[in-house]
Structure 1
């Protein structure tokens, strides 16, 4: 990986703003537009806080560019449970985050962490600023 940046946020929904601002700064430093990346990291970090940490501990957010220049954003949490893309259901107010992510990114996925927990990642199309 040529370029990689990381931030640790509290497992609180209010801290998701820090992840969004962090990714905006990183993408800006790379000369890329940040709208999609900020939206995606908001969903990944919020999901990590709610489902992966239960509101306790910390979430690691990382942004990096692969050798081919494709930017990737990640959220690391302590849950081993795989994230689920839930169908759109009338009247449900949550659970659509990964559906949004799926529509915005090249691809996304998860990988386990050796020490327990998982990383949820998303590849973003690089669009010059």
Structure 2
């Protein structure tokens, strides 16, 4: 799904993710997935030029999420101090996702995570 710029896109990404998870019958991990999607989309909107795209895939109990953006620099988890208001997003992804990473694509990069999910 293509996302527009700014905060409305962040809300759109969360809402569409919740809708897709419900359609797949993923209830138990929905809050975790939405949090992780929120972190990746926020990073893309804050640090990358151009459009952002969110893709969700489900196969054999593994949810794969990727966020594509127009910036080629691969993300690295930050080191946030106690008073810092940002810099923890990828640490959350690292802690909560089964796996995560990034790879180059034609017009930038894709940042992704995988999470084992229960389908009801």
TM-score by length of 1: 0.85
What is the aligned partner in structure 2 of residue 98 from structure 1? Answer: 90
Structure 1, gaps ≥5 residues long: 1-6
TM-score by length of 2: 0.91
Structure 2, gaps ≥5 residues long: none
Aligned residues: 118
What is the aligned partner in structure 1 of residue 53 from structure 2? Answer: 60
RMSD: 1.3
**1 CA distance for matches of 2:7 and 2:83?**
22
The residue matched to 2:94 in structure 1 has which SS?
helix
What is the aligned partner in structure 1 of residue 110 from structure 2? Answer: 119
**2 CA distance for matches of 1:58 and 1:64?**
20
